Structure formats: C-alpha cells, structure tokens
Structure 1
Amino acid sequence: MTQPTTPRSVAAPRSVAAIVLAAGKGTRMKSDTHKVLHPVAGRPMLLHLLAAVGELAPAGVVVVTGAGRDQVGAAVAPFGIATALQAEQLGTGHAVRQAEGALADFDGDVLILYGDVPLVTAATMQRMLDRLRAADAPAAVVLGFRPDDPGAYGRVIADAEGGIVRMVEYKDASDADRAETLCNSGLMAVRAADLWPLLARVGNDNAAGEYYLPDIVMLAAADGRGSAVIETDAHEVAGVNSRGELAAVEAGWQARRRAAAMRDGATLVAPDTIWFAHDTILGRDVTVEPNVVFGPGVTVADGATIHAFSHLERATVGAGAEVGPYARLRPGSVLGVNAKVGNFVEVKNAVLGDGAKASHLTYLGDADIGPGANIGAGTITCNYDGFLKYRTTIGAGAFVGSNSALVAPVAIGAGAIVAAGSVITRDVEPDALALARGRQESRSGWAARFRALMQAKKAAR
C-alpha cells in the first residue's frame, strides 16, 4: 500500500482523493486500542480500508482523527497519509469539514469513507466514482445497502432509476420512511467543488443537534441538482462498534475467504476450523487439515499439505511440502520443495532445502538446512546466548541424530553425521562423524547391590 506524503493538486480534473473518518471514541469497544486499529484477518481495520483506497492511486488521503489521534496517526504515518483533527464530535458533516484545509488545492472527486467500515473494496469505490462521472452528473453518489435488519440506519428514498428523492436519519424518520429497506452506509462520492460549499450550508437543526453529512444531498436538491444511490452487499459496508460486531465481521470475512480458497483449488478438510489472514496465499491442490491458523505473510505453494493444529506466520511453504500436525512456523521460515516439518516442530528464521526434514519434537531457529538433510527428534539449534542470536548451518544430506544440541554459531558439513545425544560446539567437516557425549560405562551387579543396601537402610529406620 503506497500513498503520497501529503495531498497535492493535480492537473487531471477528475482525479480522486479520500477522506476517512476515524474520530469516534469507540466507547462500546471498551478498549485502550482505538476502534479502527482492532484487527480483522490480522490487519487493523483502518489499514484494510486504506489498502483498498490505495488501489485507486489517489492524489491524496486524509484521515480525520479525534479521540486516540496519536494511535491513529502512528498507524498511518508509515504510509505518508495526512491527518486532520476533529476536536469536538459534532457529527459526520462537521468531521468531513476538518479535512478541507488539507484538500484546499484539490479539485477532483472525493470519496468519503469510514475507518470502522473496513471491507469496502476498491471495485465498489470505483463504481461510486463512475456513477458520479456519468452523463447526468449527480451532485453526490451515496452507497446504499439492504441489511437483514434495517434497524436504526438512515434511510434512502429513491426512484426506480436510483435518483435520490429524500434521505433521512432514523431519529428523524417517519414510520413510512422507516419502512424503507434501502439504508445509507454513510459512504459518499462528491466533487470537491461541490462538497465544501454544500457542507458550509449544513445546519444542526435535528434531533441529535449534529451536522449530518447526508444533508448535502437535500441541499443540492434544493438547488435543482439530483443525487444518486448505488447498492452493494450488506457485508461490504458492515460497521464495527463493539467486540461482538468485530467478531461478526471477522466471521463473515473468514467464511468468504474459505469459500474462495476452495473455489481456487485448495482442499479444506474442515473449512469452519481454518483461520486465514488478509494476505494468505494458497496454491492449487493444497490440502489444509482441521484447526490450522494462518497468521499474516504466509504463502503455500502447489500440492503442499498443512496438517491439523498447525500455526504459520510470515512463512513460505514450498511445493509438495508437509507441515505438522502440531507444527509452528514462525516468521522467516522457508520450506523447500517436498521438505517436511512434522509434529511438535518449531521453526523460526530458518530455511529447509528441498527434501530436508525434521519429523518431530525439534526446534530449528536461525538455521540454514541443506537439501535432503535429516534432523532427528529432539534436536535443538541453540541460537541465543541471552544477548545475541547466532546461526547454524547444516549441509546437504547431513544426518543429525536424536536429542542433539547444536550450539551456534556452528556448521555441520554436507553428508556429515551427528551421533544421537551429542552437544556440538565446533564445526563438523563434510562426511565426518561427530560424537560429543559422555562415555558409557557398565558395572556388573551394581544395581542389585544398591537396592539391597537401600532396602536395609530403610528397614533400620
């Protein structure tokens, strides 16, 4: 996601800018984290929305902040996105006006979006812009939807062609208005040349005493200029104001993502138990068994299998590779073609070459493991001395016996064998045997004599 450092004036008269409202306190979330920074599919809601906006190559983006502005500002700063402060919460119309200074020199089309409505797609935003730019030149375009329960949403009264006859907030709506099922999502597209003059005329003579953004539609109508509504699915404009709504949006997103994964050629053995991140990539003929969690940054190539109860994050799994069951791939893990990480194996910042395997009960951190290497059960790369991390290198075709500790920095040569139970502190040359454990002794009859002695001591007490 890339954005300009600040909004800028551009020559093209119909370029686009976006205003994202994120000034609400979000008190129903009951959280120290700003509402729009709570994650859906492993990414903060606000960044979902900004990523979609970024696909339109906007000339400028302004996020309107209020409560928690430091958190929001820190979240958008890496993308060079401008912020504007709404010091008082006086309604959506008032919030949009706070961005006027940042967009003073912008003369294109403006999208008005909400940071707690995170899943609006770039395609839908483009549809709004296309309708705004149509031959009949509506003053504004409103994004409408028809929820299962219209509840307290504002209503849009429109004619058969989508021309807006009237818009009304629920608090001010009559019973007849409330019977309408077409609801106002709050998202709009307006020309900058129209937006600011119309907002300047918005008053607060209403039940809430607020400056309503939708009032610009009726003000334009009073000037003889019509506005239009287009519709989208309710899930795309679902808002988040509470933990329950956050969970519902997450659940809906996950359900749609699972369906897409199967449609694209992956097998999900128990779909409802699989958890995806926003950027998970699965190849064709990938099999995912039950209770697998994909954190952000995971790519799985064609034909790989992710066995049950595995957790992957910022990891790459090669074609035909196997992971789990009960495996954990942490950031920086890379599995080559047909590599295998088995049950209760943890990998972090390590590369397993093609055909390499660690089948069980192993920790591989900060390591480079060559093709065809075999890492025995209970092996640990000792990569941390309490202050610094060090790397382990294991050559192609090497065999590391069970219950071995490889104390980094250390290199095991190609084709070398490390005997089970060894603690390796020095490099092992290729094709050598490394044996580093105490010498075994056997003392005949010792155990029997020991038991007799201890039984006699116990009896004497």
Structure 2
Amino acid sequence: MTQDIVILAAGKGSRMKSAFSKVLHKVGGSAMVRRVLTTASALPNAKLHLVVGHQGDQVEASCQDFMANVVWQNDPQGTGDALRRVAPYLQDNGATLTLYGDVPLIRASTLEKMTALSTPNTLVLLTISLDNPTGYGRIVRDEQNKVVAIVEQKDATDSQLAIKEVNTGILLAPNSHLQGWLAALTNNNAQGEYYLTDVIAMAARDGVDIVTVHPENEAEVAGVNDRIQLAALERELQHQQSITLMQNGATLFDPARIDIRGELTTGQDVIIDVNCVFEGNVVLGNGVEIGPNCHLRNCLIGDNTIIKSNTMIDESEVGDACDIGPFARLRPGTVLANNAKIGNFVETKKALIGEGSKVNHLSYIGDTEMGANVNVGAGTITCNYDGVNKHLTQVADNVFIGSNTSLVAPVQVAEGATIAAGSTITKRVGEKQLAFARARQTNKDNWPRPIKK
C-alpha cells in the first residue's frame, strides 16, 4: 500500500529559548527533523510531506535533500489543522502516517509494525502505557476493549485522567476515510485547536477498525520541548548505540562516556577508552585500540592500529598497524600507509605518509608525498604556504631528515638522501646525498652574559 508520511515541524518551541527552529536542534549529531525524515524515507512506497511554520525557511533548507513536499502552516491551530493543509496533496488510495519533527528516536521497526496492519478499513494507533501519563491524551476504550476515542489532558474527566494508556500522536489512517474526517474537524475544545486525535472517535463511529501498536520503549515516542528533554534523549541515544557496539564485539571502558554523532562501524576486538567522540562516518578495523579523549571524524582506521590519548583524526585514512599519538592531529587529506607512525604533537594535512615511515614528534607535515621508511626528526616542518598558494613537498623512500629541518616547498628529496639537523632546504636533494643548509657559526671569546636588572 502506498504511504503518505507527514512530518509535523511547524512549532515555535519557545521553551528552547533558541534563535532557530526547535526541530533543527541536534540529537546524535543530526537535526531531530532529519532523523525523522531518514527513518520515514526508509519505508517502502513513501511519499514525504514536511509541514513547516516558524522559521520554516531554515527547516526547508536543511531538509531539501529529502525531496519532501513542503507545506506551510502559518498561524498553526493544532495537529488537525496541519493535516488539513496537507490533505490536498494526499494520494487517493493508501494511508497517511503522521510523525513529529521533535520526536527523533522513533524506530523504523515500530513504523513497519504499524504499516503491516494497515488496510483500507483500519486505523493504526501507536500507544504506550505510562506510570505518569500527565500531559498526554488518554486512550478511551469500550467494554469490549476497543478504542473509541482519545481525550486530551485539558478536556479529560477525573476518571479519564486515571487512564494509563496514552496517545503518542503517531497514527496511520486510510486516506479513503481520512479526507472526510479532516474536513469534519472542529475546534470546539479548551485549546480552540483542531485536534487530529478527534478522528479516532470518527473512525469508531464509521465502523473502521482501530488497532494499537506499542513501541519498544518510551524514548521512541518522547518529544522535545526544552533543552533538558533534548539532553535526556541525547543520553538515551548514546546508551542505545553503546549497547549495539558492545553486542558487535567492541569493548567500551565506560559505555556512558562515549559520543557517537553519526555512524560508527567497528570490527572485532576494538577497544575504546573514555571520553571519545565520533562524528560523521567512522570505520574502525579489527583490533583497533583508541585511548582516552580522542576525536575521530569521517575517517577509516585499519586493523590493529593504536590511537593514543588526545588525538584528533579528521577526514583521513589510516592503514593497518599504525601508531598515532598521543596529542596528534591528522587533518583532512591525510593518508597513512601500513605501519606508519605519527607521534606526539605532530600535525599532518593533505599528506601521504608511506609504509613504515615515522614522524615521531613536534612536527608539521602538510601538502606532502612521503615514501616508505622515512624518518622525520623532531621539529621538522614543511613550509607549504607562500602567503598565497600551497606547494608540494616530495620525499622519496628511505630518507632521513634531521631534527629542526625546514623543507621549503616546492621541493624534492630523492631516495636515500640525508638532511642534516637544523637545515633549511630550498633546492632538490639528490639520491643518497647529504644536505647541509645552515648559517655559518660564529664563536666569540669572553662573551659577557646579560645581568639581571
């Protein structure tokens, strides 16, 4: 059956006290509304509709890659009003699933359970039982335990307020009936709004079967109204992701102290210490070990590589059995071949480091092509920027570069060459040559040291 999926994202979210739309606040590194759209778009035969209002231009621009039909809800008057504005775009057949841009952790598996029950004469409702149902619409059932209505908190009687089963707001209604129900909605209630929940009573009146589905946990249907709730859902998502990592064979020294803001894929026997952050798409091979306080973003790490504490790796590719850190920074465009070593306080950028090569400490290597088995001494830098353009440094295999060397690009160092410590290299160094480039040293006798005043 074809699916219209409506994501409601028009609310102001004043309790967020923010300069931008509530649904653009992030959970797990992704805007809440984008999380919902991603989940929704995975359903088969999905036609997406995005309802925007407050700062709708921001929301539309951030979600344009989903190719959703954007419908504006200026001066919003409730969830029923939102669906009424989408009604002209709904398909004649099929059903409409209503989701919310500030309910980011809804699972595709739950929505699939709902769609599996959908028929032209069935309305599927997602409900949950809560110990404290305050603030939620109550599910009213008859003597045969059939759902007959949803009553909002402000309109409920004392007996209805005692009901524990509540409405999550997520429902799947057949379009053949939904159009008529939406047209019949009124705003005769305490809020003066058009409630989408009123279609439940209409469905019961019209003999439409009303069936309920329940989520796996409360967090799936939890909405965000303020930053406290946003933080709670962030921790819930991180907990869920930590459980998945450990089930897949990773060791987390403290599952509560890891943040995944994107997608993290791990091989077997991966070890991750505390306070590590993973952004974008990160892939860790088998046997990778990551020390505390590391930050990895959009990178691929090969098997058996060790990343020591306080290291940042960004938009880079690391081979097998490499040794990185501590306090190293691999900037975008860095590629390390197998068995390469990047030591403490080393920064690389757009650098190809060959197999077995070592940049052990206190160095900057940028815009560089480096061969295999190169040894780079402490304090070495590539001077790749002339103030306007970047230039390339090329270092062949088996080169030894002494400490405190400056390689002024563009420059080439041929295979087997040696560069003496303290040199500033501005010209090509040939194969197996020894390059000295130092100012002449002058020694003065009986030099009087400065005296502290």
TM-score calculated relative to the size of structure 2: 0.90
What is the CA-CA distance between 1:203 and the residue it aligns to? 0.9
Distance 1:162 1:130, change over 3 A: farther
Change (3 A) 1:160 1:44: farther
Whether contact under 8 Å (1:46, 1:116) holds in the other structure is yes
Match of 1:450 among 435, 448, 451: 448
More strand by share: 2
Alignment equivalent of 1:345, drawn from 305, 328, 344: 328
Q: Partner of 1:9 in structure 2?
A: none
Give the CA deviation at 1:293. Answer: 1.0
Choose the corresponding residue for 1:22, options 1, 4, 9: 9
Deviations 1:407-458 (A, max 9, x none): 2311111111111110012111111113324357473754xx423xx44x96
Q: Give the fraction of aligned pairs with identical amino acids, expressed as a percent.
A: 31
Deviations 1:70-107 (A, max 9, x none): 0111011122111001112111001011112232x442
Would the aligned equivalents of 1:282 and 1:300 in 2 still touch at CA under 8 Å?
yes
Q: Pick closer, same or farther for the CA change 1:364–1:106 going to 2, 3 Å.
A: farther
Q: Distance in 2 between matches of 1:398 and 1:78?
A: 45
CA distance in 1, matches of 2:158, 2:362: 70
Q: Distance in 1 between matches of 2:56 and 2:29?
A: 21
Q: Does the aligned pair in 2 maintain the 1:291–1:310 contact within 8 Å?
A: yes
Question: Helix, strand or coil for the counterpart of 1:210?
Answer: coil
In the other structure, the counterpart of 2:98 is 112
Kindly tell me: are residues 146 and 402 of structure 1, through their superposed partners in 2, closer, same or farther at Cα, counting changes over 3 Å?
same
For the residue of structure 1 that corresponds to 2:413, the secondary structure is coil
Matched ranges for 1:252-331 at <5 A: 252-330=236-314
Question: 1:338, 1:354 within 8 Å by CA — same for their partners in 2?
Answer: yes
Deviations 1:29-68 (A, max 9, x none): 1111211111100011111111111211334100001111
Q: Secondary structure at the match of 1:145?
A: strand
Identify the range of structure 1 (51-60 vs 18-27) with the bigger mean alpha-carbon deviation: 51-60
Alignment check: 8 A CA contact 1:139 1:217 kept:
no
- Deviation at residue 199 of structure 1 after TM alignment: 0.7
Match of 1:64 among 51, 59, 70: 51
**CA contact 2:295–2:311 (8 Å) conserved in 1:** yes
User: The residue matched to 1:397 in structure 2 has which SS?
Assistant: coil
Question: 2:113 is matched with which residue: 127, 138, 144?
Answer: 127
Q: Any conservation in 1 of the 2:148–2:200 contact (CA below 8 Å)?
A: no
Give the deviation of 1:239 after TM superposition.
Answer: 0.3
Q: Deviations over 1:236-294 (max 9, x none)?
A: 01101111110011011111111221121111112211111231222221100111111
The one-character-per-residue Cα deviations of 1:308-353 (angstroms, maximum 9, x if unpaired) are: 11111111111111112010112x2111111121111100120111
Q: What does the per-residue CA deviation read over 1:101-143, in whole Å, with 9 as the maximum and x for residues that have no partner?
A: 232x44212111000011111111111111223xxx6541110
Residue in structure 2 matched with residue 189 of structure 1 by the alignment: 172
For structure 2, the 5+ residue unaligned runs are 385-391, 425-437
Aligned to 1:398: 374
- State the AA in 1 paired with 2:341: K
**Pair 161,138 (structure 1): closer, same or farther in 2 beyond 3 Å:** farther
Equivalent residues of 1:258, 1:271 under 8 A apart = yes
| SS at 1:271 equivalent | coil
2:431 matched to which residue of 1?
A: none
Query: Residue 352 and residue 210 in structure 1: after superposition, are their counterparts in 2 closer, same or farther (change >3 A)?
Result: same
Counterpart of 2:199 in structure 1 is 216
The Cα of 1:148 is off from its aligned counterpart by 4.1
Q: Which amino acid aligns with 2:280?
A: P
Give, as a single letter, the amino acid of the residue that structure 2 aligns with 1:306. Answer: I
Whole-Å Cα distance in 2 between the matches of residues 64 and 18 of structure 1? 11
Write the letter of the residue equivalent to 1:36.
V
Distance 2:403 2:218 in 1: 60
Counterpart residue type for residue 396 of structure 1: A
Contact map agreement 2:36 2:101 (CA 8 A) in 1: yes
Gaps of 5+ in 1: 1-13, 384-390
- Structure 2 distance, partners of 1:406, 1:159, is 78
Describe the SS at the equivalent of 1:376: strand
What is the deviation of 1:26?
0.8
Q: Residue 361 of structure 2 aligns to a residue in which SS?
A: coil
Displacement after TM superposition at 1:157 (Å): 2.4
